[in-house]
Each structure stands twice: as structure tokens, then as C-alpha cells.
Amino acid sequence: MTNRTIKAVELFFQEGASDKVYNATIVADDGAYTVQVSWGRRGSTLNEGAKAVRVGLAAAEKKFESLVREKTNKGYQRVSSESRPAAVAPPVGEGSGSKAPRARAKVGHAAQLLTPIEDDQLDRFLADDAMVAQQKIDGMRVIAHVGAEIMVTNRDGQRATVDRRAFDGLSYLPHGTIVDGELLDDGYWLFDLLQLGGDDVRQLGYVERWNLLDGELEPALTGGVRVVPVAVGRARKRKLHARLRTAGAEGMVFKHRDAPYSAGRPSSGGPQRKHKFVKTADVVIVENAGNAYLMAVRDGRSQFVVGKVFAGTTNTTRKALDTALGRGEHPVCEVQYLYATDDHQLFQPVFLRVRDDKPSDQCRRDQLVTTCRTVIV
């Protein structure tokens, strides 16, 4: 019998502004099994996809249980006679999120996060004298609190697991100082200041905070702790942009010179923005790997896997890809990515389109572009 349901579950999550569902079903299909999923805001048209395509029953059940476990660990609840979605989501702290395992305690400040700009907005930000610019650094975002010991927290204000020796260069700063930056292999790069000794400086404009960081604190920094340079004015911003492009950097950030430090990320806009230097590549879709589509390129006569992609796919494109894979085909697709790692894995890939006009043997490994992770000074 075709398309017979073997097992199914309906899950929901309600709390504050969140009111969403996640459904999973194991379907028998001519001797094989597929795990079909749908998700989205309750009452809206749901996204659809497959987490395993025409696999054995044991593999399908393993994927199904893994999905249910992942979602319930985040607070999703099973729809049952005892548990059903409310007409209106309950307040924060009283809904599904309160049923998730306890998160790590917040012991420090949450970080200010950036919102993206598109290519067609770049010239405006380069020309805007109210915005200053810096290199976008791809490291580990951490906030360091200077005291008798250095306490290091992540972007959410939770204690971070890091090698504390990387922060020894902060030891001469006044106790009570709090700095924000990115941890790279070559050290800790500072780009913002939240507190100088006992003085909270978050309400100062960004340029004022950076001047304190560079003028008051930089002379006391030692070891691998340094300050990220800032470009002020149109000419210097354009020069920085050209240097970053030439060096193969990840991108650049723009910060309003007079804006205070504000934790979190706005839903759109905001005083701190980021622009990523994205690339594109043509890849072969090898299989539906359960949580995304496995991509590969040609490396001589052999096939080289470059990661998985899910972002950018839609109900229509996922059905088309799954249908082609089910026929034994391996479609060629164009993807956008931020950069290729040193071992040629695509970082932050986004599906763009199917390339019916390109044969798979032209999807070559030498098209991939790596990035420069060194801070340009």
C-alpha cells in the first residue's frame, strides 16, 4: 500500500509572541519509509519538507524520535486530550518555554547584536557620515568582566567556556571594567566598552566609547588583547571596504557614532549593521540528509562533500529536490555562501535555484573561495 501512515505526532509551542506547531509523520512508500514534516505559525500555511527519504523503517523511526526529542527539549508539547493549544498564547514564563530544560543562568550583560544590510544599501552606509565602520570579525563573541578574576560571558550573558589565558592581557585594567569583543586564534579583539571601572558608559555614543577604549584602556592592554580599528568619514570607510574586499575578509560593520549600547537585536534596522561579502557556487545535491540537503563538488575524478544546505529552500523546491533524488538523479543547484572553510566546507550556505543548464562535472572544487580571518590593521 502506498503512502500509509506508520506513526505521527503533532507538537505545539505557545508563549508570549510565539504560537507555532511542528508535525512529523512516518509514511510507508512502496517498501521504503519517509519522514515528512510540516512547521510554522499556528493557523497559517505551514512549511513542508522531509527529514528522511525512502529509508528503512529503523532509520525512519530513529529520525522521527530524534525530531520529537529535539523539539520537546525546546519546550514543544504533544497535542493530546490533556494538552492542547490555547486560543491565545500565555505570557512569557507561563507557556511552553517554561517546560523546557533550564537554561544556564545569566550572570552578565547581553550583547548588542547587528542587523544585516543588502548589497544595494552598501553605498548609502559608506556615504553616511553618521556611520563609522570596522572589519566584521568571525570569531567567538564574548564579554569580559574585569575583577579579582576575569569573568567571561557569551552574547546571552551566560558564563562562557573558554581558555582564560586568552584574557590575561586585561589584568591591568581597572576592576569593574567590562569590554566586548571577538575571540580569535590570535587573541581577543575589543570593539566596545560597557563599563570603565565603576562608571557605566553604555549611554555614551559609540565613538565616545571607542575613544575611551582606544585612548584610556589600550595602553594598559598586554599580550594578545588588542582594539579593532575604526574608520571614520567617507574616504576612510571606502578605503577600508576596498582593503577588506582585496584581503578576502568576511565583511564589514557599520555603527552609528552617537548611538548608546543597547543589548539584543532589533527586528529591523537599528544603529549597528553588518554587511557580508557573500559568494556563490554551483553544487551537486547528493541526498536528503534528514535535516538538510548534502552538497558536493567535483575534485578531479572524485566527489567532495562541502556541507549541507536548507536555508532558502521552499515547499516547492524541497518537493522538486526530493522527487529528483527519489528517481536517482543528483540535481545541480546554485547556492550562496559566506565563505569556504580551510577544508572547503561552505559556511552559511543558502539555496538559490536549480541549475538545469549546467552539468555536474562543471561543479568544481576550485570555484570555492576561502576567507581571511585575520584582522586588517
- Which domains, ranges and CATH numbers included, belong to the chain? 2-99 (2.20.140.10), 115-276 (3.30.470.30), 279-367 (2.40.50.140)
pLDDT of residue 220: 97
Judge whether residue 99 has pLDDT over 90.
no
Report pLDDT digits (tens) over 185-241.
889 999 999 999 989 999 999 999 999 999 999 999 999 999 999 999 999 999 999
Report pLDDT digits (tens) over 136-183.
998 899 999 999 999 999 998 999 989 989 999 999 999 999 999 999
pLDDT band at residue 103 using 50, 70 and 90 as cut-offs:
low
pLDDT of residue 1: 46
pTM here is 0.72
Q: What is the 3-state secondary structure (H, E, C) of the chain?
A: CEEEEEEEEEEEEEECCEEEEEEEEEEEECCEEEEEEEEEECCCCCEEEEEEEEECHHHHHHHHHHHHHHHHHCCCEECCCCCCCCCCCCCCCCCHHHHCCCCCCECCCCCECCEECCHHHHHHHHHCCCEEEEECCCCEEEEEECCCCCEEECCCCEECCCCHHHHHHHCCCCCCCEEEEEEECCEEEEEEEEEECCEECCCCCHHHHHHHHHHHHHHHCCCCEEECCCECCHHHHHHHHHHHHHHCCCEEEEEECCCCCCCECCCCCCCEEEEECCEEEEEEEEEECCCCEEEEEEECCEEEEEEEECCCCCHHHHHHHHHHHHCCCCCEEEEEECEECCCCCEECCEEEEECCCCCHHHCEHHHCCECCCCCCC
Averaged pLDDT, 285-314: 93
Report pLDDT digits (tens) over 18-76.
999 999 999 998 888 999 999 999 999 999 988 888 888 998 999 999 999 999 988 99
Share of the chain above pLDDT 70, in %: 98
Share of the chain above pLDDT 90, in %: 76
Averaged pLDDT, 264-269: 86
